[in-house]
């Protein structure tokens, strides 16, 4: 695009954004801490999902000092359900560094931001432009799609080898007099008008600048390379009951779902049934001998790069003392306490059923005792 056409494009886009943008809660502020929190949440998660989590999070942690001094487990509990828990762990870790090193003020230096845990190119660009008005273009999925159509870019949007081209294209279009507003306008255009399916080209404020529209080739963009099939794993999980209590274990802090609590279990091997895998996994993870009493349910859950099918068993404690091999902590809790701990989404799919099942068996136990002692 020539320079005068870029200026025209910027003007059309910004005028449209001024009138049509959604009044999202994080758009009412340029507080770097709040901008940072919102951008971390918006990575890999849709706006409508983020809104209630953002509101809950900033109510609980209105400033960075409070976030930094709060226990990670409380942060994970507030984040519970939003997924990608590494984001919460990094937010917490980075808040500690910012308080210690920068007196609780986010640095207005792109390179310093990039050095903080969990802050990559996208978040550093978003915070630098929106909170500090610095000329860094953001390139997320929405922006890539818009750029691919605007400039008829033939490269696949889902290959990292294309990133330099998309970044260069975004840099050339960036309105340097108001980069924060411009970046948000590009993302909003992708979310509301230049959508993945059936973009609303007739009402698009930048259709006259759009290469794909002018050549009647909107359907050809963006290009994608075919994703490989998502692998699926079969998991066995055991709810070990001892009296009125159940056993929960805490995952190590690093890696997938790090720091969350769960019921012990793991992958079923080729030569095993779900039941034998459940007994073996519990023995390996916590050194307890248990027996399975009942198949509670089977649930399915999808993570970004794989799916699981999980068979859940009610188990009874048989023998042994807990020695941890993998988990970093354990607790015997009553089901009424489950809400006090952050659990992964897959566990939440069977927790209501578990509570109901244990309540019924506790009720029938009481009835038996009443009959016996009448």
Rounded CA separation 200/208 (Å): 13
Show the tokens assigned to 330.
């354990």
The reply on whether position 146 binds ligand SF4 by CB under 6 A is yes
Judged by CB, which is closer to ligand SF4: 137, or 218?
218
> Is 222 an interacting residue with respect to ligand SF4 (CB under 6 A)?
no
Range in contact with ligand SF4 (rule: CB under 6 A) among 86-94, 206-214, 262-270, 290-298: 206-214
The residues pairing with 292 across neighbouring beta strands, listed in sequence order, are: 315
In whole angstroms, how close is the CB of 158 to ligand SF4 at the nearest point?
18
Q: Is 92 in the site for ligand SF4 (CB under 6 A)?
A: no
Packing angle, helices 179-192 and 121-132, rounded to 10: 120
Q: Pick from 166, 152, 142: which is nearest to 215 by CA?
A: 152
Helix, strand, or coil here: 176? coil
CA-closest candidate to residue 148, choices 113, 181, 186, 111: 186
* Contact status, residue 317 vs residue 242, Cβ threshold 8 Å: yes
- Rule CB under 6 A: say whether 41 interacts with ligand SF4: no
Tell me, by CB under 6 A, how many residues bind ligand SF4: 14
- Closer of 38 and 142 to ligand SF4 (Cβ): 142
Q: Which is nearer to ligand SF4, 170 or 277 (CB)?
A: 170
Measured from the CB atom, the residue of 34 and 210 that comes closer to ligand SF4 is: 210
Verify binding: residue 263, ligand SF4, rule CB under 6 A: no
Site string for ligand SF4, 299-338 (x = CB under 6 A): ----------------------------------------
Nearest approach in angstroms of CB 135 to ligand SF4 is 22
Residues in Cβ contact with 159 at an 8 Å cutoff, skipping those fewer than 6 apart = 225
Q: For ligand SF4, which residue of 194, 246, 286, 354 counts as binding (CB under 6 A)?
A: 194
Whose Cβ is closer to ligand SF4: residue 68's or residue 194's? 194
What binding mask, one character per residue, do residues 282-301 give for ligand SF4 by CB under 6 A, x or -? --------------------
C-alpha–C-alpha distance, residues 96 and 109, integer Å: 18
* Residue 349 CA, distance from chain mean position: 17
137 — phi, psi (to 5°)? -80, 135
Nearer to ligand SF4, 138 or 286 (CB): 138
Tell me how crowded residue 220 is: count the other CB atoms within 10 A of its CB. Answer: 13
Q: Which stretch binds ligand SF4 (CB under 6 A): 12-20, 211-219, 224-232, 342-350?
A: 211-219
Q: Is 206 in the site for ligand SF4 (CB under 6 A)?
A: yes
- 272 is annotated as an active-site residue: no
Distance CA 327, CA 346 (A): 17
Tokens encoding 122: 């996208």
- Stretch binding ligand SF4 (CB under 6 A), from 203-211, 234-242, 256-264, 345-353: 203-211
Q: Does 213 bind ligand SF4 (CB under 6 A)?
A: yes
Q: What is the torsion angle, in degrees rounded to the nearest 10, for the CA atoms of residue 305, residue 306, residue 307 and residue 313?
A: -120
Distance separating alpha carbons of residues 145 and 165, to the nearest angstrom: 13
Which CB atom, from 150 or from 246, has the smaller least distance to ligand SF4? Answer: 150
Give yes or no for a contact between 100 and 128, defined as CB atoms under 8 angstroms apart: no
Question: Using CB under 6 A, which of the segments 45-53, 134-142, 212-220, 275-283 binds ligand SF4?
Answer: 212-220
Cα–Cα distance for residue pair 329/345, rounded to 1 Å: 20
Q: Out of 40, 193, 248, 338, point to the residue binding ligand SF4 (CB under 6 A).
A: 193
Q: Which residues of 319-358 are buried (b: 16+ CB within 10 A; e: fewer)?
A: eeeeeeeebeebebbebeebeebbbbbbbeebbeebeebb
Of the residues 39, 188, 262, 281, only one is catalytic, namely 39
Candidates 199-207, 241-249, 253-261, 309-317; binding stretch for ligand SF4 (CB under 6 A): 199-207
Contact set with ligand SF4 (CB under 6 A)? 146, 149-150, 193-194, 199, 201, 204, 206-207, 210, 212-213, 218
Q: Mind telling me the catalytic residues? A: 39
């Amino acid at each position: 695009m020539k320079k005068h056409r870029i200026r025209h494009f910027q003007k059309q886009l910004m005028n449209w954004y001024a009138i049509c943008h959604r009044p999202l809660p994080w758009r009412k502020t340029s507080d770097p801490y709040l901008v940072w929190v919102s951008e971390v949440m918006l990575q890999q998660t849709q706006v409508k999902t983020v809104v209630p989590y953002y509101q809950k999070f900033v109510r609980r942690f209105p400033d960075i000092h409070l976030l930094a001094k709060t226990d990670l487990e409380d942060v994970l509990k507030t984040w519970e359900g939003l997924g990608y828990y590494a984001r919460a762990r990094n937010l917490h870790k980075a808040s500690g560094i910012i308080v210690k090193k920068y007196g609780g003020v986010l640095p207005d230096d792109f390179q310093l931001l990039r050095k903080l845990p969990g802050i990559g190119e996208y978040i550093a660009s978003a915070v630098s432009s929106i909170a500090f008005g610095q000329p860094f273009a953001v390139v997320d999925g929405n922006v890539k799609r818009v750029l691919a159509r605007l400039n008829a870019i033939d490269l696949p949007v889902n290959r990292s080898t294309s990133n330099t081209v998309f970044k260069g294209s975004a840099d050339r279009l960036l309105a340097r007099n108001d980069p924060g507003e411009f970046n948000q306008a590009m993302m909003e255009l992708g979310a509301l008008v230049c959508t993945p399916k059936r973009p609303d080209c007739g009402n698009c404020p930048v259709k006259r600048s759009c290469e794909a529209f002018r050549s009647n080739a909107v359907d050809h963009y963006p290009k994608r390379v075919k994703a490989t099939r998502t692998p699926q794993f079969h998991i066995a999980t055991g709810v070990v009951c001892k009296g009125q209590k159940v056993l929960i274990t805490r995952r190590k802090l690093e890696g997938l779902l790090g720091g969350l609590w769960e019921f012990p279990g793991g992958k079923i091997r080729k030569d095993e049934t779900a039941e034998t895998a459940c007994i073996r996994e519990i023995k390996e993870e916590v050194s307890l001998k248990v027996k399975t009493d009942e198949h509670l349910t089977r649930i399915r859950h999808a993570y970004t790069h794989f799916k699981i099918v999980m068979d859940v068993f009610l188990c009874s404690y048989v023998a042994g003392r807990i020695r941890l091999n993998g988990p970093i902590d354990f607790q015997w809790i009553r089901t009424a306490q489950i809400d006090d701990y952050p659990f992964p989404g897959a566990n939440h799919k069977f927790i209501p059923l578990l509570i109901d099942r244990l309540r019924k068996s506790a009720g029938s136990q009481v009835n038996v005792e009443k009959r016996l002692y009448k």
